[in-house]
Amino acid sequence: MFSPSAPHSAPIPRKVLAAAAHWHVELQCGSADPAALQAWRDASDEHERAWELLQRMDGQLGTIPASLALPALQAAQQRRRAAAKILALLVAAGSGIALGQAGLQSGPWQALTASLRTAPGQRRHVTLADGGRLEVNTDSALDVAYNATQRRIRLHHGEIMITTAPDPRPFLVDTRHGVIRALGTRFGIRCDADGSTVSVFEHAVEVRCAARPDAVWRLEAGQQLRFGETGADNVQATQAHQDSWLRGMLVAADWPLQQLVRELARYRRGRLACDAKVARRPVTGTYRLDDIDAVLESLCASHGLQVTYFTRYWATVAARPA
């Protein structure tokens, strides 16, 4: 069900941002008391908002420069200087930024340099540092960033399935369209140019959409949400067989042919299109994802179609001539 939270429209006070910057420096130096930091975060909603805003800006904040990572960093004066630099970034971003306003800033360069990538047709299994499981589908790019206070995945594009492990640190996934927070769960995320889709298979997640900084969606098992640059759709039931790619299968139930071809194209290099004259033909079947050309051959034989190859990597599915 849709469950928007109360809006966080009030600016975060400068003194709270300053405290968050101080905690960040202490944490980077290794001198922070995790229990005390958590107590500070739990003390008020403003504290938690400031901390999460800071964490979401960590791509801009970076780590403490090597020149400050010397023993001299123990000096309170140098710690204050480092904190002041971080505070300046927070204030420059605008203390009125609401949690969830900014999504992952991701472009072609970030995707190309991502630490974990799959090619078209490739799938990967990764065991995370905390014991959680990460399944990566075809043509995906992401970064995994764990630190002392949080577990974070940045999905630039593609599709993943996550099974989280018990851990006191929050588990967050960023896409260009918003942030997903796991609540002890198994869930999938698919991100493309038009939007991101979150599907929950166990327990629950919270979704903060970049286009709707005043709202939070809580999704329970069996629910999914599509959100993008203009907002979020209504919460829907998770589609049957949506996780069949984990078993190397694609299940189509009365799909338009165009939809099936679009899905198959994700697993094949090059361009695979569907002729408009047959785009609406209904198709039902189960297809193996490890040999898309064989799938196309079988599909053509059973549905009166043909594949026209302009080159090996440019093909169109069309009606077979009478």
Of residues 282, 283, 198, the one with CA closest to residue 233 = 198
Segments in the chain forming alpha helices (H): 14-29, 34-43, 45-56, 58-61, 76-93, 108-112, 257-265, 292-303
pLDDT in the model for residue 67: 43
pLDDT in the model for residue 75: 54
Task: Give the dihedral sign, CA 210/106/265/271.
Answer: positive
pLDDT in the model for residue 9: 45
Regarding whether 294 and 254 lie in a shared domain, the answer is yes
Regarding whether 278 and 198 lie in a shared domain, the answer is no
Regarding whether 276 and 189 lie in a shared domain, the answer is no
DSSP state of 57: T
- The structure tokens listed for 314 are 């440019």
Of residues 112, 139, 144, the one with CA closest to residue 126 = 144
- The structure tokens listed for 106 are 């991701």
Residue 306 within any structural domain of the chain? yes
Domains in the chain: how many in total?
3
Of residues 28, 14, 97, 33, the one with CA closest to residue 58 = 28
Q: Show the domain range for 78.
A: 14-93
| CB contact at 8 A, 265 and 241 | no
Regarding whether 170 and 195 lie in a shared domain, the answer is yes
Regarding whether 71 and 114 lie in a shared domain, the answer is no
Q: Which of 188, 213, 237 is the last residue before a domain boundary?
A: 237
pLDDT in the model for residue 76: 58
Segments in 212-269 forming alpha helices (H): 257-265
Regarding whether 308 and 232 lie in a shared domain, the answer is no
Q: Which residue numbers in the chain have pLDDT < 70?
A: 1-10, 56-110
Regarding whether 144 and 200 lie in a shared domain, the answer is yes
- The structure tokens listed for 135 are 């399944």
Beta bridge partners of 172: 152, 181
pLDDT in the model for residue 80: 64
Of residues 178, 212, 181, the one with CA closest to residue 195 = 178
pLDDT in the model for residue 26: 76
- The structure tokens listed for 84 are 């002041």
Q: Is the pTM of this model over 0.85?
A: no
| Strands 196-202 vs 223-228: parallel, antiparallel or unpaired | antiparallel
Question: Tokens 């420096």 — which residue?
Answer: 25
Q: Which of 237, 272, 301 is the last residue before a domain boundary?
A: 237
Burial class (CB in 10 A: 0-12, 13-18, 19+), 224: buried
Q: What span, in angstroms and rounded, lies between the C-alpha atoms of 142 and 190?
A: 12
pLDDT in the model for residue 119: 94
pLDDT in the model for residue 33: 81
pLDDT in the model for residue 204: 96
- The structure tokens listed for 55 are 């964490």
pLDDT in the model for residue 135: 98
Q: Which of 93, 124, 139 is the last residue before a domain boundary?
A: 93
Regarding whether 143 and 226 lie in a shared domain, the answer is yes
